[in-house]
Structure 1
Amino acid sequence: MRCSIQLSFYILLLLSFNCHSHVVEWTYQEGEVDEANWAKKYPLCGATHQSPIDIQKKKVVYNSEMSSFELEGYDGPLHGDFELTNNGHSVQIGLPFTMKIKKGLPHVYTAVQMHLHWGGLDLETSGSEHTIDGMRYMAELHIVHYNSELYGSFDEAKDKPEGLAVLAFLYEDGHFENTYYSEVISKLTTIRYAGQVTKVKILDPLAMLPENLENFYRYQGSLTTPPCTENVLWTVFDSKVILSQNQIKLLENTLLDWHNKTLRNDYRHAQPLNDRVVKSSFRVKMPKGEYSIIK
């Protein structure tokens, strides 16, 4: 009996050690490697072509040659076991390799995962990473792809030239539930703790996006998290995705980070544009009725 008690105690001690042994390499708000100090550990985070940015409409250059995307494998519903993960910084959904960007970019890019950024901390209800004319939206979705023409895998491409392309979508809140997000949001409670994983059986990626995919901004940037590698071709769509206020609240209040604190405001602030140019596939209308610059 005594041996059994000692063994049980040892197992509990081991489990406790494993639960708290994750090394938190970086954070957004707190700790030695918070956003303000990323560059000390990850030098590229202090480089000159970083993301996200504030898209200033008056500086956007309209390029009529930027064609609309041709997406392959996005149309659902897709059936399978798609991993839904709380990685301590965001909620991430693994995507099938059949999802690709076939046209509209210099190469073919294959999807890897998509993840969300949101607000919620200290009554800050907006949490998008990219802003438009200084306005931060409710949340932001990133669909991450790697260059499958030049590289054999995401791991090979993630730090290589022209390695990555990310499609970014901004969110607004509305009165009605967006049913295409219902399963994902309902399962957040099953991955409350950082490191937990569950499965999503049905995914409809195209239905999770806005109907208009023709109007977008494009610029060259970086990963918005360490190591901040500057090899990302960003496409930020102008049309917004609508989630209900309740769906936004669940997103902001369900998950915990590696410190077992509610995961909120998981976004990086806007970085200087410097010598880069933001292009658009459409003529951006200004508040005064003017239009963006034409290339």
Structure 2
Amino acid sequence: MSTGPTQDGPLDEAHWSQEYPACAGKRQSPINLQARKIRYVRLRKGLLLTGYQAQDRKFNMTNVGHTVMISLPSSMHMVVPDGTKYIAKQMHFHWGGASSEMSGSEHTIEGIRYVTEMHIVHYNSKYNSFDEAQYAPDGLAVLAALIEVDDYAENTYFSNFISHLEDVRYPGQTTVLKTLDLEDILPPNLHDHYSYKGSMSSPPCTENVYWFVLAESVKLSKAQVLKLENSLLDGRNNTLQDNYRHTQPLNDRVVEANFNNRPSRRRAN
């Protein structure tokens, strides 16, 4: 998750806490999701997403130096099972690419790192703005979707986004998406999810994020993932790759899941 200062990459993770003490806290993100450490809870309500359907308007898409970020309108919001309403602020991606194997998700499942991870950042509606909420103890919530490769099919819902990556090759460059359909970008099953209390996964690492990690993954073609991994440059004029933080200790936190069985890593038919 990226909301704050530009990170220089995973190699500098060990030094984050020197400037941002919260990065050495006990409730950091991301984490490894393990079945033996998950508590099953039966929820009558899932996540209620409003305004995520296709919208024809201007969505700014920017290379912020450590990821590509798409600004979202306040008409998009998420109500979580406890009834709290969170307003959408932005979405961004984490990916790999620097090694021979494509893997760059932040959260892992049973130690398995997925190809890419998408974060939709929201802030608590009790606050007047994101700026007010971002440091509040209950200020933020992130909806995360893990992405894996389907060798055969291009995900057409991502085509518009992927085709505009070349327009934001350099940090600071912004382009405009004229339409965005988050409902179709996300997996069909929005009910089954993991949830836990954690942090921003990049500096300043504030421990005020309610995480919701969808159980069902999104499928992209290998060509689409390669495009994401190789299109952007960072502030040092290097190809922007491996922009994910490694998993952090769970410590005494509880991870909940509202489904019984673990999701399988399966290919689309």
TM-score normalised by the chain length of structure 2: 0.93
Q: Structure 1 pair 189/94, CA: closer, same or farther in 2 (3 Å)?
A: same
Does the CA-based 8 Å contact 1:57-1:286 persist in structure 2?
A: no
Q: 1:66, CA displacement in angstroms?
A: 6.2
Alignment of 1:211 onto 2:188: yes
Q: What are the equivalent positions in structure 2 for 1:164-243 lying under 5 Å apart?
A: 164-174=140-150, 175-243=152-220
For 2:262 and 2:13, locate their aligned partners in 1 and report how far apart those are by CA, in whole Å. 33
For 2:118 and 2:180, locate their aligned partners in 1 and report how far apart those are by CA, in whole Å. 15
Alignment of 1:26 onto 2:4: no
Q: Structure 1 pair 64/137, CA: closer, same or farther in 2 (3 Å)?
A: same
Does the CA-based 8 Å contact 1:115-1:141 persist in structure 2?
A: yes
Equivalent position of 1:17 in the other structure: none
Alignment of 1:38 onto 2:16: yes
Equivalent position of 1:75 in the other structure: 53
- Could you say which structure has the larger radius of gyration? 1
Q: 1:256, CA displacement in angstroms?
A: 0.3
Q: 1:25, CA displacement in angstroms?
A: 5.6
SS in 1 for 2:164: helix
Paired residues in the alignment total 259
1:117 is aligned, of 75, 94, 103, to: 94
Name whichever structure is richer in helix by fraction. 1
For 2:217 and 2:31, locate their aligned partners in 1 and report how far apart those are by CA, in whole Å. 17
2:127 maps to a residue whose letter is Y
TM-score normalised by the chain length of structure 1: 0.85
Q: 1:65, CA displacement in angstroms?
A: 3.0
What are the Cα deviations for residues 234-278 of structure 1, in whole angstroms up to 9, with x where unaligned?
A: 000110000000000000000000001000000000000000010
Identity of aligned residues (%): 49
Equivalent position of 1:162 in the other structure: 138
1:144 is aligned, of 121, 142, 152, to: 121
SS in 1 for 2:93: strand
Does the CA-based 8 Å contact 2:6-2:64 persist in structure 1?
A: no
2:56 maps to a residue whose letter is H
1:75 maps to a residue whose letter is Q
- Structure 1 residues not aligned, in runs of 5+: 1-23, 288-295
